[in-house]
Structure 1
Amino acid sequence: MAPSRSKKGRKRTLVEEMDPPRSTRPKRQAAMKSYNSRAPVVMLTRLPDSEVDPLRQPTPQQYNSEVDSPSSSDNDMPWEPENNSSDSDFLPENDKLKAAKCPKIEKTMTVATKKPSAAVCPNANKTASAAAAKATAAVCPKMSKKTESTTKTASTTATTTPAASLPSTTNSNSKPTAANSPIIISSVFSHGSQETTNVRPKLPEVELKLDMVVLARRRPMKWHQGKIIEIVEKEGGRLKYKVSFGEMGRSLVSAHHLALSTTPKLEQLYVGARVVIQSQDDKTQFHPGVLAELPGRKNRLRFLVFLDDHTPMYVGLQLLHLICKPLENTLDDLPDGRHKIFLTQYLKNWPYPHLTQYKIGQCINVELEGTLQKCKVETVDCSLMEVVFQESQQKDWIYRGSMRLEHMAKFLALREKQQNNEKSSQ
């Protein structure tokens, strides 16, 4: 029979179990330290595509929306990418950019391309490329969406304008190349109805009174501020208004040759409205024109106006003035000629205007004083571009869909010929 332990011995044993002697403490601490210093190891197992595909979420359809594009705002800048542009599908620098944005892609593509079947089967490269594309979509779906959208944009632009239907602009010592030919696009100006309105709003008619300060026409391209001093009634009940310009004399004009001196409200404006704008050179002069664009992201919140001499100009709201009583067809106030034909076609195509895409520094032919002259593209500003003529070094702002451009004139002539052939065949 084992001897019984005393209460004092039992307490000592219990204390030793809870607090081991100092001689054993270093060993225990060393064991804990070695345990804590071990680095965790993660084991990864690559699953076959047949098991991964059912788990992936379907990729949403991408729309080529210009409203969501920061460059459409942009700026409508030329679509042609630069050497380091991230929007190109054809440059090797994109691989570095994609790897920087999503570092897991590079490793995944390396694993996908190093399959042993590549050494046996000659079609292994195609299979590896497909596997790499699937792996890219699984690791970073945003990159695959961007690439997919860029590819769709490039294919859409290519199908819009065949290269064979456009003439190429060349230098005297070079042969024509497809790279020198512009792209003529016809895309919607905006997706917001407030930016594409081309219907005259139903607003109360302006009442013209005596001593009313207005902007009146003195010459076809020169309007001045004056005061109505007399209202004359002509045959058939037509009214004429005699306007005094102070020391510059007087004029008897119709109501559609009078404009309000106050700034209009945005809801009063629409594409095709007859307006006058204040001259930048002489603040006392005003020039008549037709409103061509309402403010939006694509034109940096500005109004585009085509003056009656075919000069395009971006202006702010404070420079615009509405005609008091415009004609039912605002273009009836324009003289017959190329500008009237251009505006008629422009309003017919709106909101799908035809625009050419040029690069800065590209040499093109532009009509000046009735003849085609060589010039260089200096600046591109949304729907406009500034060119410098080589002979005179004269600078001129031109609408990128103007009939003064050689490419646009030939494009419109070819289109008209095709339409006439279709009508004759019917």
Structure 2
Amino acid sequence: METSMSEVQESGERRENKRKAESDGERAGDENMSGSPCESVPPTNETPRKKTQLEDDFLRVTKKAVVVLTRLPEYTIDALRPPTPQQFYSEDESPSNSDSDMQWEPEADSSDSDFSVSKKKTVKPANTDPTRRPSPQTSQNNNNEPAPVIISSAFACCSDETTKIRPNLPEEEVNVDMMVLARKRAMRWQRGKIVEIVTREDGRLKYKVSFEEKGKSLVSGHHIAFDTIPKLNQLYVGARVVVGCQEDKLRFQPGILAELPTRKNRLRFLVFLDDHMPVYVGLPLLHLVCRPLEDAVDDIPDGRHKSFMSRYLKDWPYPHLTQYKAGQSLTVELNGVQQRCEVQVVDSSLIHVVFQENQHMEWIHRGSIRLKHMARFLELRRLEEHKNG
């Protein structure tokens, strides 16, 4: 009987201990799951209280962080500044040189002083004073067309790029049966063969040319050109040349060489054709006239273009150029009438424009007399020179 009571007591004690252990386990589980049920808790060997203490210490450190500013000396600040344009560019590669096409100034179209001309291009500072009223010289005209800056800066820095003196080289021979380019009409030269050389009573030579297409002509030495590609040392600004037409291999047009290859024109030759049209060409399209006149301009028909070329060669290597940028409106002569157009592209000394009335497009030299402002500038300059005697 005593044994049975003892077993009962032991069994009761075991049940009581088991219940306490389960109760302690539930409380421990509740403490471990006190966080959000959606977050995974990383394993740690520290007690929850110790972890909370570390977080509190970290927050206290963060709250106490400060930023200390130290003023640098002036010489240190100057050393950290980026280079200015004068430091970064040489004089010939400066953005303010003549191949920079993005600078222009609005000036009055009704004033005689609406042109800015200098040996080196300058940019006027903007009017930053709100109380200062613009002067008439800086206002725009009625058709909202600003007058461009007209510059006169050296086109190239190397004498080989600016020379306008004919080189002292021996003349190449011109013989019978030689293939040449000969003048058939004023603006049309064609390939042909010299079939006879005629000596006139006054000693002048004439060349009878039989054209490849058809027909014959008796022409002077300044109306025939070599069919071969010239050498670079034979070329100079002012040389009388004939240019091959890219669209028509059988057509050639006469002109005067106006620019030699430079970095500014991307190593191309600029030629003014006798009809005032400017073209950039490569060496293979150039042909030298065999026996040019002493002054090549004398071979151009009388007119405005002849006067323009005389002035251009006189001013070289400081040709007058207007400064335009893409999207700018201007007035240009077309078929004898001043018409409105817009600049599409600026390519070295040329601009590509489209006329508003008929959408006609063409390339125009930035110093062309067809430009309204340039024509007026050249006329004012001519009158001033005539006045000064």
TM over 0.5: yes
Identity %: 57
- Structure 1 equivalent of residue 56 of structure 2: none
> What is the CA-CA distance between 1:69 and the residue it aligns to?
3.6
The one-character-per-residue Cα deviations of 1:259-313 (angstroms, maximum 9, x if unpaired) are 0111011111000000001012210111000000000011010000000000000
- Structure 2 equivalent of residue 333 of structure 1: 299
* Mapped partners of 1:166, 1:292: distance in 2: 33
> What is the CA-CA distance between 1:370 and the residue it aligns to?
1.1
Structure 1 residues without counterparts, runs of 5 or longer:
1-41, 54-58, 82-152
Structure 2 residues without counterparts, runs of 5 or longer:
1-67, 79-83, 106-118, 126-134
- Structure 1 equivalent of residue 268 of structure 2: 302
Tell me which amino acid in the other structure corresponds to 2:102.
P
Structure with larger Rg: 2
* Mapped partners of 1:321, 1:43: distance in 2: 71
SS at the partner of 1:236?
coil
> What is the CA-CA distance between 1:363 and the residue it aligns to?
1.3
- Structure 1 equivalent of residue 229 of structure 2: 263
Whether 2:156 is the aligned partner of 1:190: answer: yes
Tell me which amino acid in the other structure corresponds to 1:383.
S
Whether 2:379 is the aligned partner of 1:354: answer: no
* Mapped partners of 2:284, 2:211: distance in 1: 22
- Structure 2 equivalent of residue 78 of structure 1: 102
Contact 2:96-2:121 at 8 Å conserved across structures: no
How many residue pairs match? The answer is 295
Whether 2:92 is the aligned partner of 1:67: answer: yes
Higher helix share: 1
Contact 2:260-2:270 at 8 Å conserved across structures: yes
* Mapped partners of 2:71, 2:347: distance in 1: 54
- Structure 1 equivalent of residue 308 of structure 2: 342
The one-character-per-residue Cα deviations of 1:170-208 (angstroms, maximum 9, x if unpaired) are 53xx5x7xxx22111110001100100100001111211
Contact 1:169-1:365 at 8 Å conserved across structures: no
* Mapped partners of 2:177, 2:191: distance in 1: 12
1:89-104 superposed matches below 5 A: none
TM-score by length of 2: 0.69
TM-score by length of 1: 0.63
> What is the CA-CA distance between 1:224 and the residue it aligns to?
0.8
- Structure 2 equivalent of residue 386 of structure 1: 352
Q: What is the RMSD computed on CA atoms of the aligned residues?
A: 3.3
The one-character-per-residue Cα deviations of 1:36-61 (angstroms, maximum 9, x if unpaired) are xxxxxx99896699xx99xxxxx9x8
Contact 2:96-2:122 at 8 Å conserved across structures: no
* Mapped partners of 1:189, 1:46: distance in 2: 44
* Mapped partners of 2:362, 2:321: distance in 1: 17
- Structure 2 equivalent of residue 365 of structure 1: 331
- Structure 2 equivalent of residue 156 of structure 1: 122
Contact 1:262-1:321 at 8 Å conserved across structures: yes
> What is the CA-CA distance between 1:231 and the residue it aligns to?
0.8
